[in-house]
Amino acid sequence: MKLHNLTILVASLGLTACGGVDDGTTPDDTLPPGSTAGGDDTTFDHDNSGFNPFDLLDRLAEEGPPRFTARMHSCPKVRVRTLGNVLRSLGVDMNAPGPVSAAGLYNAGYNALGGPNYTNRIRENINITTSSASREFDIFAAAADQIITNVSTLARCQVNGVGAQLFDGNACRIDGITCLIGQPAQAAHLDFCNITITSAADVDTGKRIAVAALLAAAYTCE
């Protein structure tokens, strides 16, 4: 009985082995078009070169831990109170009447700017949102005329008793842009300012847009 079973087992293995021979009728592994199989041209190119822990240690020693770098290099929204102080430092009248004045837009835009709600224990939203960025730009645009007029009289814009000017005729000035954004202006700032003016419907509108855009970029980490 045992010999009979062994014979059957050997015969079965022989048939299995013979069945593995490609006689031309065995289907290949090629999948039809439109399948989910990926290749070098259809999948993300992963870096499989390996991971060097010493590179990570060097980076951490130079940049600090992730929790520290996240705070140092993040781009939070300008606080509502800080935005008001910035506007005052640029000569904007924060008591000016009118709903579309810079002061009116600022005072009525408390919620849009993400101001805190201390009554309900809700902190200020420090993330840049569409509503906060839009309202901030509207405020800068409404304040542009006052800023252009007052910039030369501001203490922050005085150099040896001479005030900076934002514009020389229809052209932007780099010293005025430096005072406006609070950091040394580069040639790219000057080019952007001049292109904005020449691309606008008229010069005055172009100046307003240029001032608002430069301020918005300076206070949104752009």
Q: What is the dihedral of CA 127, 131, 137, 140, to 10 degrees?
A: -90
Compute CA distances 15 → 8, 9, 12, whole Å. Answer: 11, 10, 5
Instruction: Tell me the two tokens of residue 92.
Output: 């904007």
Position 84 pLDDT exceeds 90 = yes
- Distance between CA atoms of 168 and 38, rounded to whole angstroms? 60
Q: For 182-201, what is each residue's pLDDT tens digit?
A: 889 999 999 999 999 999 99
Q: For 158-176, what is each residue's pLDDT tens digit?
A: 878 888 889 998 999 999 9
Position 93 pLDDT exceeds 70 = yes
Number of neighbouring beta carbons within 10 Å of residue 91: 18
Residue appearing with tokens 């409404």: 142
The domain ranges of the chain are 80-218
